[in-house]
Amino acid sequence: MASMWKEFSKGLWNEIPPFRLVLGLCPTLAVTKSADNGLGMGLAVIFVLVLSNAFISAVRKIIPKKVRIVCFIAISATLVVAVELLMQAFAYPLYQQLGIFVPLIVVNCIILGRAEAFAAKNPVHLSIADGLGIGVGYTLALTLVGALREMLGTGMLFGKYIMWESFQPFKIMVEAPGAFLALGSLLGLMNCITIIQARKRGDELPVNLTSGCGGACCNPEK
Amino acid sequence: MREILSMIIVLSAICSASGFALSYLKQTSAPLIEAQVLTYVQGPAIASVYPAAENDPVAERQPFNTPDGRRVMVFPYKQGGKLLGVALENKAGGFGGDVNVMVGFNLGNDSLLGIGITEMKETPGLGTKVAEPKFTKQFIGASAAVELSARGGKVDSVSGATISSAAVIGAVKAADQDYQALKAQILQTWQ
C-alpha cells in the first residue's frame, strides 16, 4: 500500500508532467483556453494512461523486447480511439472543443513514456498507481493553466464570471501566445518554490530542475 | 526463428484483439453518437430554421433515398399537427472544406423558410461570418433560386468572404435539388 501511494503521489509534485517532466506540452498549450477544456483533456488522458499502463504491465512478460514499442503504441492507440468514441457518444460538446487533440493523445509522450519507463518494468498495481498519479497531476496542471488563462483572458472561471466589474480581460491570454505566458510563469513559479524549499532544508540546490533550461531562469542572483 | 515467431504471434494477437474491441465499441456507440450529433450539430441549425415549430423535428426525422442513391435525412416542421415545411441538409465546397447547410423549405410555395450552418471549416472571423444572422436572414422567405448580388441575385455576400458565401448558395441549391426530387415522397410520408 505504501509503495502504491509513493508511485501515485510522485505524479502530483515531483514528477508532475508538464512542469517537471516537461512532457505532453502540445495539448497543454493548445487546449487550455478554458478550465473546462483542460479538465476534460486531463480526464481523457487519465483514462488512457491508467488503462494503457495496466494492460502493458499485464502483458509485459510476453512482449518480445524488439517489438515492444509497436505493442505499446497499438495498445494506447486502441484506448485513444475508444476514448474518442466514448467522448462523441457521451460528451459531444467537449469533443467539439478538443477536436484533433483527442486522437493526438496517442502521440502524447506521457503515454509512451510511462509505458516504457514504468509499466514495462513494474507489476500491475504499481503501474495503475503510477498512471493514476501522473494522470491526476497532468489534469491538475492542465486545469490550472486553463483556469489562469480563462480568468485573465475572459474574466470567467468554468464559464462563470468571477472578476470585478471594471476588469478588462487580457485577450492575449486565450490566444496562442497566452498559453506560453501562462505555462512559462507557472514553470518559473514552481522552480522558485523548489529552490526555496531546498534552501530551507539546507540541501544542495538542484542544478537541473526540469529537463530543459528551467533552473537558470529563477535564481539569477545567488 | 523462435524469436521471430513469438514477435509475429504477440503482435498479431494484440492487434486483432484491439481490432475486435474497437469494432464492437464502434457498433455499440454508433446510435448514441448519431443522437449526439443531431442534438448538438443539426439541432441548433434546425431551431434557427424554424423557431416556431410545435413538433420535435429531430425526433420525427425520416431518411429518404434520392434518385442518385444518396440517403438524405429530412426533418419535418409542423404547426397544429399540419406539415408546413421540411428541412434537409446539403453541402458545397467552401474556402477551407465543405460548408454544410440545413435548409428549410416551405411546402406551400417552395420558398425558403431559412437556413442554418451546421458544419464548416472556414477562416475564423471572416468566412465564419456566413453563420451569423446578418447573412442567413437574407434567405428567410426568399425563392429557392438564390444567387449572390454580384451575380445578379439578391443575397449580399459577406465582404471578404465571397467563396464562403458562394458555398452557402451552392449548398442551398443542392438542397433544393434534393427537395424537388423528394417532395412527392415527403408529402406521401407525412400526410
In chain A, the residue whose alpha carbon lies closest to the alpha carbon of B19 is A78
- What is the pLDDT confidence band of residue A222, given thresholds at 50, 70 and 90? very low
Res A217: pLDDT = 40
Please judge whether A64 and B7 are an interchain contact, meaning their C-beta atoms are less than 8 angstroms apart: yes
Instruction: Identify which has the larger pLDDT, A74 or A15.
Output: A74
pLDDT in tens, B146-168: 888 888 788 888 888 889 999 99
Question: What integer best gives the mean pLDDT of chain A?
Answer: 83
Contact A99/B at CB under 8 A: no
Res A33: pLDDT = 84
Q: Determine the residue among B12, B16, B18 to mutate to test chain A binding: the one whose Cβ has the most chain A Cβ atoms within 10 Å.
A: B18
pLDDT exceeds cutoff 80 at A206: no
pLDDT in tens, A57-111: 998 888 888 888 999 999 999 999 999 999 989 988 888 888 778 888 888 888 8
Element (H, E) at B87: strand B82-93
Percent of chain B scored above 90 by pLDDT?
18
Judged by DSSP in three states, B103 sits in: strand
Q: How far apart are CA B5 and CA B139, in angstroms?
A: 65
pLDDT exceeds cutoff 60 at A198: yes
Question: What is the mean pLDDT of the segment spanning A137-149?
Answer: 91
- What is the pLDDT confidence band of residue A129, given thresholds at 50, 70 and 90? very high
Grid cell at residue B84: 408546413
The domain segmentation of chain A, as residue ranges, is 2-190
Q: Choose the closest CB to B14 out of A74, A82, A85.
A: A74
Is 0.80 surpassed by the pTM of this model?
no
Res B185: pLDDT = 84
Contact A70/B at CB under 8 A: yes
Question: What is the mean pLDDT of the segment spanning B7-24?
Answer: 93
pLDDT in tens, B19-46: 999 999 999 999 999 888 888 888 888 8
SS (H, E, C) A154-211: HCEECCEECCCCCCCCCHHHHCHHHHHHHHHHHHHHHHHHHHHHHHHHCCCCCCCCCC
Task: Looking at chain B, list the stretches that DSSP marks H as alpha helix, in order from N- to C-terminal side.
Answer: 2-37, 43-49, 133-136, 162-190
